[in-house]
Amino acid sequence: MRESLRRLLLSKWSKAAVFLLALTPFVYYAWRAYLGALTANPVEYTQHFTGDWTLRFLLITLAITPLRKILALPDLIRFRRMLGLFAFFYVCLHFLTYLWPDQDFNLAGMWKDVAKRPFITVGFLGFVLLIPLALTSTKGWIRRLGGKRWQALHRLIYVSALCGVIHYYWLVKSDHRLPLLYGAILAVLLLYRLGNSLLKPRPAISVSSADLPTSLHT
Amino acid sequence: MRKFGDLTEADITPKSVYLNRRQILRAMGLAGVAIAGGKVFSRFAFPPAAVQAGTKLDVSIKSPYSTTEKINTFEDVTHYNNFYEFGTDKSDPAKNAQKFRTVPWTVSVEGEVKKPAKYSMDDILKLAPLEERIYRHRCVEGWSIVVPWIGYSLNTILKLAEPTEKAKFVAFQSYYDRGQMPWAEHSGIELPYVEGLRIDEAMHPLTLLCVGMYGESLPNQDGAPVRMVIPWKYGFKSIKSIVKIRCVKGMPPTTWNMYAPNEYGFYSNVNPNVDHPRWSQATERRLGEFLRRKTLMFNGYDQVASLYTGMDLRKNY
């Protein structure tokens, strides 16, 4: 059972399958856009849709490490970079729906808004923090930075996800159920890591090497 | 409007009987048939006693207060609603308010008035000739629509009640029934929804007691059967599904102000110069447009400016 699951995860089609799956929300959105079914406020719908999927992909990406350990499926690591890059893909669309229809590409106006509105500030910060992570997501950059430093840098995703949840929480008017749900999931994922590092105080190198892409172990 | 005198649904078929009927249909596995035939069936079984959503209204007057701007589609105005009793997503009320019972309906006008009265919807529809008023409607969230409302000035009904000297404010209350509005549990706000106006605001001719839109009685999700429309204030001031209009001495509590007093003031006049603490009010997105447009002071209804002379609108937001 486990062996066949492992073989499935390692098959050359698995990455393509995960890629297509991660693209489904975008295809769904494009289909609705084609049908003209983006609600009475298509801009707002697009902003919420892309924001939602950014948060979901950040949480899915952060769930990989705990799932690898809990399910004893280390091969899940193969999909982590792609899932993280999908979070970045959706956040870029999200940012574009702010910069274009909201700000009309007026950068001065955008900066004023970012500086003045805490919910924009924190959302913008969450977006900006993901940029270096996306840029250094290649094997070449892992080599150049060295595993430890690379991993330290990529811990910024914790901060980014937290920014995303706060951004959402501050946006809604009075029904906080969804942002609180995202917040709870994030808390579980981060507390798992905290618990892990407290319970097993191993040398940093061995902990971090387990978290690195398999390609590094060679 | 009335077709069957004062009969209500309850007079025609006792509730227990028609509920039973539905249960039997379901039990027989005919739910699908019942739903398909339901619309036709219910027309015969439960004809509208007074007025229901979607009934054509006889509108004799086109108001001079109307804007000539492009009207938003009926589809947009009925599928993008903030009506937290029926869910907090803007697509929720269109789904969840369909079964909302608005017949029979009573509006009580009371408090500091010489002639308190209870009005049925029939009474309200006959108090004055109905006018069509095409107003801009600006939500505090930063979007706006143009709607052809139907109704008449609130002052018509207030004058009949003869407010006393002590009446300085008017307090409004929405219908609230947890049984019909289970979604309200997650609204985060205290219900029933309450709103208020200063008496001079309430008496202003622009302040509309609204019973319909687009030539018909109000759809449930837009505040059936009777609501307020105060076009120079943020949308949440325009309380929906009103059951009580009470003249009072002091400034009445208002729902969103109670929830977050630093974000939603009693006056809540549309004002591009005073931002919401979390977002700018300088611009708005007119539904149907891609880029945002500039928000106008008092939503462009400058004739109300004199109501606020000498007031600091930064403090009295």
Determine contact, residues A61/A52, Cβ cutoff 8 Å. no
The boundaries of the domain holding residue B276 are 54-308
Of B244, B304, B300, which Cα lies nearest the Cα of B69?
A: B300
Candidates B72, B188, B285; nearest CB to A176? B188
Contact present, B195 and B233 (Cβ < 8 Å): no
Closest approach of chain B CAs to the CA of A105, in angstroms?
Answer: 11
- Give residue-wise pLDDT tens across range A1-54: 778 888 889 998 999 999 999 999 999 999 999 999 999 999 999 999 999 999
> Is residue B134 a part of any domain in this protein?
yes
Interface A-B, measured as beta-carbon pairs within 8 A, has a size of 54
When divided into structural domains, chain B yields a total of 2
Does residue B313 belong to any structural domain of this protein?
no
What's this model's pTM, rounded to 2 decimal places?
Answer: 0.84
Q: Pick from A150, A125, A124: which is nearest to A137 by CA?
A: A150
Tell how strand B216-217 and strand B194-198 pair up: unpaired
Q: Which residues of B touch A (CB under 8 A)?
A: 72, 75-77, 79-80, 84, 88, 90-91, 141, 143, 186-189, 259, 278-280, 285, 287, 290-292
> Binning pLDDT at 50, 70 and 90, where does residue B217 land?
very high
Residue pair A51/A98 in contact (Cβ under 8 Å)? The answer is no
Looking at the complex, report in whole angstroms how far the Cα of residue A154 sits from the nearest Cα belonging to chain B: 30
B188/A101 Cβ within 8 A: no
Do the Cβ atoms of A101 and B187 come within 8 Å? no
Partner-chain contact A117 B80, CB within 8 Å: no
Span B91-107, average pLDDT: 96
Mean pLDDT over B116-141 rounds to: 97
Range list of H helices, B108-248: 121-126, 154-161, 199-203
CATH number, domain at B201? 3.90.420.10
Interface contact flag, B80 A40, Cβ < 8 Å:
yes
Residue numbers in B near A171 (CB within 8 A): 278
Q: Are residues B62 and B178 in the same domain?
A: yes
Same domain, B58 and B129: yes
Which residues on A lie below 8 Å from B285 (Cβ)?
41, 43-44, 101
What CA dihedral angle connects A115, A117, A118 and A120, to 10 degrees?
-90
The residue type at B177? D
Least Cα separation, residue A113 to chain B (angstroms): 8
In this structure, the answer to whether residues B19 and B160 fall within a common structural domain is: no
Same domain, B173 and B26: no
Are the beta carbons of A80 and A64 closer than 8 angstroms? yes
Give B290's contacts in chain A (Cβ within 8 Å).
43, 101
Instruction: Please report whether residue B240 resides in a domain.
Output: yes
Coil, strand, or helix at residue A89? Answer: helix
How many domains in chain A?
1
The answer to whether residue B316 sits within a structural domain is no
Per the CB < 8 Å rule, is A101 touching B75?
A: no
pLDDT digits (tens, 9 = 90+) for B196-208: 999 999 999 999 9
* The pLDDT of residue A204: 52
Full domain range(s) for residue A141 = 2-217
Residues B146 and B71 sit within 8 Å (Cβ to Cβ): yes
Instruction: State residue B26's pLDDT score.
Output: 46
- Angle value at C-alpha B253, between B228 and B140, nearest 5 degrees: 55
One domain, residues B37 and B104: no
Identify each DSSP E strand in chain B by its residue range: 61-62, 106-111, 117-120, 131-138, 143-153, 169-174, 194-198, 208-213, 216-217, 227-229, 242-248, 283-286, 293-294
Residue at B7 is within a domain: yes
Does one domain contain both B58 and B36? no
Same domain assignment for residues B204 and B175 = yes
Q: Is residue B314 part of a domain?
A: no
* Token couple for B20: 């039973």
Q: What is the pLDDT along chain A (218 residues), one digit of tens a residue?
A: 778 888 889 998 999 999 999 999 999 999 999 999 999 999 999 999 999 999 999 999 999 999 999 999 999 999 999 999 999 999 999 999 999 999 999 999 999 999 999 999 999 999 999 999 999 999 999 999 999 999 999 999 999 999 999 999 999 999 999 999 999 999 999 999 999 989 876 655 544 444 555 444 43
B13 and B122, same domain (yes or no) = no
The answer to whether position B112 is within a domain reads yes
Whether residues B93 and B159 fall in one domain: yes
Strand, coil or helix: A112:
helix
Q: Residue B217 pairs with which residues in a beta bridge?
A: B212
A41 touches B287 (CB < 8 A): yes
The rounded radius of gyration (Å) of the Cα atoms in chain B is 20
Residue in B with minimal Cα distance to A174: B188
Select the residue of B77, B259, B290 nearest A174 (Cβ to Cβ).
Answer: B259
Residues B83, B15 within the same domain:
no
| Chain A residues in contact with B287 (beta carbon < 8 A) | 40-41
Same domain, B90 and B17: no
Q: Do the Cβ atoms of B290 and A173 come within 8 Å? A: no
| DSSP bridge pairs for B153 | B208
Write out pLDDT tens, residues B246-293.
999 999 999 999 999 999 999 999 999 999 988 999 999 999 999 999
pLDDT tens, residue by residue, B39-91: 444 444 444 455 788 899 999 899 999 999 999 999 999 999 999 999 999 99
Number of Cβ within a 10 Å radius of residue B120:
18
Nearest CA in chain B to A41: B287
Same domain, B33 and B110: no
